[in-house]
C-alpha cells in the first residue's frame, strides 16, 4: 500500500533520511538530487508538484497561506519534532507513511509530530 508513495524530501534533511525511506521501499527524490539544494520554498513546492510527489519538509512556511498558499498539490507533510534528528524523523515518517495511501494526501497539509498528525485541507 504505502510503497507506491512518491516522496520529495526538502533540502534541510540529511541524506540518511532519504536513504532510510528508500530502504523501506518508498520512491524518494531529494531536493539536492534535482538541482534544488538552494531553492526557495515556492520552487521546492513547484518541483514536488511537477514530479507529482508528496513534499516532506520542516519548513513552517508550509501552512502559512499568506507566505505560501497551497492549492492543487499531491500533499505536504511538515515534520515537527524536537530535537530534529534524522533518527527521530525517520522513525516518525516510516511509521506514519506505512499506514497511508498517496490519494489521502492530495491537497492536504499534514503537520506530523510525535503526538499526532493534524490533517488540513488546502484546496
Scan for cell 520542516, then name that residue.
58
Domain of 26, in residue numbers = 2-121
Number of independent structural domains in the chain: 1
Write the CATH number for 30. Answer: 3.40.50
Q: How far apart are CA 13 and CA 10, in angstroms?
A: 6
The tens-digit pLDDT sequence of the chain (123 residues) is 445 799 999 988 999 999 999 999 999 999 988 887 788 888 888 899 899 999 999 987 766 554 456 678 899 999 999 999 999 999 999 999 999 999 999 999 999 999 999 998 887
pLDDT of residue 66: 47
Supply φ then ψ for residue 47, to 5 degrees: -65, -45
Residue 76, classed as helix, strand or coil, is strand
pLDDT of residue 3: 52
pLDDT of residue 121: 87
Q: How far apart are CA 123 and CA 18, in angstroms?
A: 28
Enter the pTM of the model.
Answer: 0.90
pLDDT of residue 69: 61
Amino acid at each position: 500500500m504505502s510503497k507506491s508513495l512518491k516522496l520529495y524530501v526538502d533540502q534541510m534533511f540529511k541524506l540518511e533520511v532519504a536513504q532510510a525511506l528508500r530502504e523501506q521501499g518508498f520512491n524518494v527524490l531529494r531536493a539536492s538530487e534535482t538541482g534544488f539544494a538552494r531553492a526557495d520554498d515556492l520552487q521546492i513546492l513547484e518541483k514536488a508538484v511537477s514530479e507529482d510527489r508528496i513534499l516532506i519538509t520542516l519548513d513552517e512556511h508550509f501552512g502559512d497561506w499568506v507566505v505560501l498558499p497551497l492549492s492543487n498539490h499531491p500533499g505536504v507533510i511538515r515534520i515537527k519534532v524536537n530535537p530534529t534528528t534524522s533518527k527521530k524523523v525517520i522513525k516518525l515518517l516510516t511509521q506514519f507513511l506505512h499506514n497511508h495511501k498517496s490519494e489521502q494526501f492530495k491537497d492536504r497539509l499534514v503537520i506530523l509530530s510525535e503526538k499526532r498528525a493534524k490533517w488540513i485541507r488546502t484546496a
